[in-house]
Structures are given as structure tokens and as C-alpha cells.
Chains A and B, each alone.
Chain A
């Protein structure tokens, strides 16, 4: 143990596990570890090894949300295999393309990993089971219908003969896939629906789990990058000679119009040289843009008739409001947020004139492949993307593949050399696709009985789709995402209140800051506006906030059920402990119904969140333990924004560059979270995102109960809770 260890790079080369499955399919994948003699797959979803190990292929990305385990549970449920022998692997987007998209969509955004693929992955498991049974039956010369499978064992029922999946896997692979399979009723599930342990925990405890940032390839060099910090600005020039002789530096290069990179033997040396590199920016036309100018633009939209799109319109809200009565009005605002995944953006690329391979932590393997091929200037068939575990995604690594494009663009300037591009945290904070800023003016009219007769919700602010995915805009140019949680019916984002005269509209105002899909997307802003204002209305009507909502929710039993559940669990009708105050919120998003109830206290201006009860009805539940984790985790994300998060703009760029100025929730801020999972069946809703939206309004309503102070703009850190 005392000898000086001689380490060469080769000692710690890692093979991407994502590539191993590819070898059995005859793909040429450089750097993959020796594949051994992988048995043929039973079908695209299932490989069975002779020792009965089951390899389940997972198309969606694992970024912490647990759907790798959940999807494997669904396949295993139908496969009737021994769960203790299940492992997983990612097929690559290139293999998917070559096999006619046999694994469907790889995209892992919008809380869709399970709800958008449960059916075909279960069918994949069921088909494999049928083929394994058919192979055994054929060997025994008995009818397949006399055989049953359980726990990876096939039994011929009349004779009691048994065999295992591993023994018949080869023969099963040669069976014709069944043309039809019948899926189990979820009430008969044994593996799915259970709070099973995650499949991917052990390696995360010892340093063994490799993330994109950890990859090492033979002969690899590292790149550090800097793009013009001003949005829309460009790279004017840089003085490569000034850093060319610094230790380890191999190349200083222009990446594209906006960015420069230093390539060195280690990333630390690349970054050190980049910090020393004299760079001149052409800052462009946005240097006058600031948080104040953006707020002004949005405030104008609150009162304007220009570029206004109607989301929901019922009756005559404007007319009823104009007639007067008890009219309540309030204006709310939500600032820009950064995803700030713990693992900064990164990608590794190897380019040759014939082929391009990329290793990337990505939420969207298919899009990564497209972007890689474009940047590589090669036909897509000559490119592939090997997915690696993500150190957080939250929407940043899905629709935006800037890190892949940059890595390939750099690698293309150094043919034959693998290049690992890593962003610094500062780069990550300055070049996000930000949770967009919106403002909202809400107006409600109460009749003499205190009932809400008219309601107008005017949202003003940035559309994500206009810049991020214009093809998803509606024909009139409106952005449906802006109205998440506020729709008149539907199975994704239905408003939970019936209001006779209702108008929800959006004044589209797009500042020159790139917006993106941030966990929860527009549901966050909308739930905060709607649910805090409902609280305002209830107080104006002199009614209990739960009772006030109940009257409007008669026709929305699923919305109401989750709300009642959290109210009951928090003890809404009982007196809270001395100094503790409560707040409620509910919304529907990503196909699920969610609600939260919070208990807080405020003393000497200090907020303490003691406890949050959450309820979610996602229709069906694949792993209740994962759902609890997702709910807790989403609260941390949502409350970080509520308490601390704000990216402010000055001189056309973001001011916050690291966690010292973009603070997030830590252990000491964390409340106790109790999660009620209450699947009502009949639909498949998402889990990763919806609950995030109800944490902040529940807390803010509790803050009002505690202080009498309405917080209408977050983060709370900017507000003085003591001056009441």
C-alpha cells in the first residue's frame, strides 16, 4: 500500500455503460469495454443472460427522478421476472434511429418518462414473456397455453416441469413476437406499484457512478469555454498568444460567433488559461436591458390591448367587473430563475471526417443526436450519442443542447482527439435558459354573499415557446404553456374552479433573455398567482380560505379531493400550535392533481417553515416511494425560488454568477414534508413537476396568516417580514 502509485490515464478509463448494449446489435462504438458474449436480446426491451440476469433497456434518461427504476418495474411486472436480478442499460439514440425508433421517444421532460411510455414498455415486457414461454413450450413439445411464468421460472402446469428464463433466452430470441398481448390490470401488480428500492443507489455512495463530467477517454483533452456574457453579444477577438504557453494549453480557439475555448490537458489548466485570456466582446444591442426595464415592459402589458392572447373566456368578466361591487385587485411578479443543476453543463465529443460520437448527460438523446450531426457536418447515421447519468436536469438538458453543439464544434477543430467540454458554474449561471419572468394582475368581483362572480387574470411576460420551440405555438401565435393550470377543462392543466364570468389572457412581452423549461414550467408562476389571490379573495369575503374554495370546486371533485386531503392532514379545522400559521394551495398540472398545506411561523422577521403536507393524485402509481422523493425534492426546488432565487439583469447580462449570489435552500431551511399519494385510477399523470407549484403559494398564504402581509413578489429574501 505504501508504494507510490503509478497512474496512467489508461488505469481509469471508463467505458460508457450506455454503449455496451450496442455491441450486440453490431454497432461500431469506440472505447466501449469488451462486451463479452452478450446473449441475443429477447426483444428490444429485454436481454436475458444465461445466469438469469435480466437487462432491461431504458429509453428515458435518469437524472435523479427515479424513472429508471419505475420503468424497469413496469417491464418486469409484465415479464414476470425475478426483480432481484434486474439491471438496466440505455440504448443509444443512434441505435434507435437505425432500428426504426423501436424504443420510441427518448425525451425526458414534462414529467413524461412514465406516463408517456407505460403502455409500450409494458407491452415490451409482456411480449418477451410470451416469447420465453413459447420457447420453453417448444422445447418440451407442449402447448404454450399450459405454461405459466413467474419469478423468471417457467412451469408446465400439468407436468410440473420447470425451466428458467436464462436457459431458454436464446431460443426465445428466435420466436416470432406475439401480435397481441394483454396487459395486467394494475390492481394485480406485484412489482409495479410497490415502493421498491432504487436500482441505482449503490454506485452513488462510493464514487463509482460516472456522470458526464467524469468521463475519460484515451488521449482526451479538456475544454473550458466562455461565451459573451451579454445576451445577443458576440466574440470580437481574443489574444491566443497571451496564454498559448501556459501549462498544459494545446489550443485556443473560436467556437462559434459568441464563444471562445481553451483546450488543455486538464480542465483546471484550460480554465486557468481561459481566465487569463484577453477577450474583447462585441456586446451588441442589449446592454441597456435591465431588470427594471424588463419589469417596465411587463407592467405595460398588464394594462395593454396589444399582442394579447386569450387563454380562457367564459361569460363576460370585463363587463361584470366594470359594473362594480366589491372589486379586489392585486399584481404579482415572478423573477427569472436558473436551473443550476449540481453538475454543470458538459459533453464529450470525438470527431473524425467519418464519424462523430458524443457522450452527454442529456434529457433528450434524440435531440442531442440531431444537434451533434448538424454540428459535425456528417450524416446522422455516422453519428451517435451515448447517454450518461445526469447530475440533475430539471429541464436544462432537454430542449437545449448548446453544450453538445459546442463540444462537437470544438472537437471538429481537433480531429481524432476526444474533447471533454465542461462549463464553469459561472458559465452555467450566465448562459441559462431561464425560468421566464412574468407579472400578473388579478381582479375579482364579489357579490353581497361574498361569492366570486367575475374574475380576470392578466398575465404579462415572456413566452418560452416563441424562442425555444416556435413550432409548438398555436396558429394565432399564442403560447399554450403560459396558461398551464388555467385551462377550461382538459386532462392536463384544468382550472379547478367554476367561475361564471372568467377571463384569463396573456400579453406576450419577450425580453431578450433566453427563456427555458424549468421544472414545473409556467405552472409555478400561475399557481402562485392564482392560489395567493384566491386567499386574498377569501379574506376579502370574510370567509375561510378552504370554505371559499370549496364553493367554487363543486364541479372539480379530483381537485377538491387532494385539497381536502391536505387540509385534513394538517388539521385545518383545529387550532395550530402557538405562533404557527397555515396556508393552502392546489392546482392541476402535467395530468396530476396536487395540493399543499403549509405550517409556518414568523418571529423577528424570520420565516420558519415547519411542515408541509402534500397530496397528489397521479392516476396510477408505479413506485410510491419515488413519488414521495419527487414531492420533497420538488418542494426544495420550488421553495428555493420562493425564498431566495432571483436572476437579475444589468447591462444586458445576468448579475448572479454562483451560489454565493444565487442562494438556494439548504438543510436548515428544510421543513418536514408529509406526502399523501392518492391515485384514483383511470389516467396517468406526471410526478416530477406538478407538486413543485403548490409549495410556494401554500407557504405565502401561511405567511399572510402569520403576519397580515401579502407577499406578491418573490423571493422572500428581498422582503421585510419584520415590519408588520
Chain B
């Protein structure tokens, strides 16, 4: 049994301690917005915030998450899709298939929380998520828009 706090709500989950946070979110808590893409910390589809820091949840065992830490998933990023990043994403129609986008959005939200004026080089360095549909240029534009409107 492990206790974790997700989107402000504590949960007790009955899983093996080595279960990755990703699968606890998806299968125990039904928070399927966080996606599985590789399982080896390469693609970023599983990105969530742990105490505000962008974290690839597919390689983070649940045993490494303290009950006092707050895990934020895309479902908990805002109450109504109104986080500046989500609003910028909507305005620019960033997603194509959308599968990678929760990870992109969480990575972008963490970036602009720490860096109020990210340069192109900052974006290149921090957003290393994979998008097979090729939304990168719109992701970049939307990050800049989110910064302006935040």
C-alpha cells in the first residue's frame, strides 16, 4: 500500500512498490491523460509535475514518491483548461493526434513556471519530448504565446 497525493487529493493505492508512477496514475487512479510512449524516459509522453518539476513518470517507481509530494497531471493542471499553456495551445491548434500533447503541455508549463522568458535555445534544451506528428513549431510558438499572455 502506498499513499500519494495527486492533483491535491491523497490516494491509497495497493500496488507493488516498483510500479512506475505512470501506471499508478493510469490504472489505479484512472487518470489516463498521462500517456505511455516508451517506458524508458526517452519520449516525455508521461511527463507530470512532482512538486512543480517536470518528471518522466514511466521510470519513477511509486516507492520513490513521498506522500507529501504533490503530483500534478494534465487533468489537474487547471480547473477548466484555462492554464496559459492550455489557452495558447487552443489558440494555435497545436495538437495533431494529440497523444504526446499532455506531456508537451506539462513540460511547457514547468518551463514557463521557472523561466519567464524562455529563448529558443531554452525551449530546445528543455522540451525534448517526442512528437511523431511533428507539432514542434507550433509547440514553440505556443510556449511564447503563453509567456506573453501569462
Chain A residues close to B by CB (< 8 Å): 1-2, 4-5, 7, 9, 11-12, 63-66, 197-198, 200-202, 204-211, 213-214, 216, 222, 247, 266-269, 272, 340-344, 389-394, 422, 424-425, 625, 629, 632-637, 658-660, 664-668, 670, 672-673
Interface of A is mostly: loop
Inter-chain contact B96/A425, CB cutoff 8 Å = no
Interface string of B78-107 (1 = CB under 8 A from A): 100100001001100111111111100100
Residues of B whose CB lies within 8 Å of any CB of A are: 8-12, 16, 19-20, 23, 26-40, 42-43, 45, 73-75, 77-78, 81, 86, 89-90, 93-102, 105, 123-125, 127-140
Contacts of A209 in B (CB 8 A): 98
Give the dominant DSSP class at B's interface.
loop
Assembly CA distance A622 to B58 (angstroms): 40
Could you say which of A4, A659, A668, A670 contacts B12, with CB atoms under 8 Å apart? A4
Q: How far is the CA of A79 from the CA of B109 in the complex (A)?
A: 41
Kindly state the separation between the CA atoms of A583 and B32 in the bound complex, as whole angstroms: 44
Cα–Cα, bound, A630→B46 (Å): 25
Contact among A247, A391, A633, A667 with B98 in the assembled complex (CB-CB below 8 Å): A391
Residue of A nearest to B32 (CB): A214
Q: Contact between B11 and A4 (Cβ–Cβ < 8 Å)?
A: yes
Q: Closest B residue to A246 by CB, please name it.
A: B16
Once the chains are docked, how many angstroms separate the CA of A322 from the CA of B131?
49
CB pair A391–B35 under 8 Å, yes or no, is yes
Do the beta carbons of A207 and B75 come within 8 Å of each other?
A: yes
Given A342-B131, A392-B133, A670-B136: A204 in contact with B101 (beta carbons within 8 A): yes
Nearest residue, chain A, Cβ from B42? A659
Complex CA gap A141/B37 in Å reads 60
B121 CB to nearest A CB, Å: 9
Enumerate the 4 nearest inter-chain pairs by beta-carbon distance, A residue then B residue, closest first: A207-B33, A636-B134, A64-B97, A391-B99
Interface centre among B10, B42, B77, B129 (most CB of A within 10 A): B42
Contacts of A200 in B (CB 8 A): 95, 98
- How many angstroms from the CA of A273 to the CA of B33 in the assembled complex? 25
* A204 pairs with B42, CB closer than 8 A: no
Among A201, A422, A673, the most chain B Cβ lie within 10 Å of the Cβ of A201
Could you tell me if B101 and A670 are in contact, using CB atoms closer than 8 angstroms? no
Which residues on the A side are within 8 Å of B34 (C-beta)?
207
A611 smallest CB distance to B (angstroms): 11
| B36 contacts across to A, CB distance below 8 A | 213, 344, 422
B127 to chain A, nearest CB (A): 5
Pairwise interchain contact A64-B133, C-beta atoms closer than 8 A: yes
Is A343 a contact of B42 with CB atoms below 8 Å?
A: no
Is the pair A659, B130 in contact by a Cβ cutoff of 8 Å?
A: yes
CB within 8 Å for A202 and B30 given contacts A64-B96, A667-B127: no
* Structural contact, A208 and B137, CB atoms closer than 8 A: no
* Chain B: minimal CB distance from A261 (Å): 17
What B residues does A389 contact at CB under 8 A? 97-98
Q: Is the pair A204, B11 in contact by a Cβ cutoff of 8 Å?
A: no
**Distance of A636 Cα from B77 Cα, bound (Å):** 28
Determine if A266 and B97 form an interchain contact, defined as CB atoms under 8 angstroms apart: no
Listed A/B pairs (14) with beta-carbon separation below 8 Å = A1-B8, A2-B9, A64-B98, A64-B133, A206-B86, A267-B27, A272-B16, A340-B132, A425-B38, A625-B93, A629-B135, A633-B134, A635-B134, A667-B129
Q: From B95, which residue of chain A is reached at the shortest CB distance?
A: A204
| Contact (Cβ within 8 A) B11 A207 | no
Which residues on the A side are within 8 Å of B86 (C-beta)?
A: 205-206
In the complex, residue of chain A having the shortest beta-carbon distance to the beta carbon of B96: A64
Q: Is the CB–CB distance between B95 and A64 below 8 Å?
A: yes
Known: A266-B27, A672-B137. Contact between A201 and B73, CB under 8 A? no
Considering the complex, give the chain B residue whose CB is closest to the CB of A213: B36
Q: Is A343's CB under 8 angstroms from B99's CB?
A: yes
A161 to B133: give the CA distance in the assembly, Å: 48
A633–B135 touching, CB < 8 Å: yes
Least Cβ distance of A308 to chain B in Å? 36
Contacts of B38 in A (CB 8 A): 425, 658-659
Contact B136 A636, beta carbon cutoff 8 Å:
yes
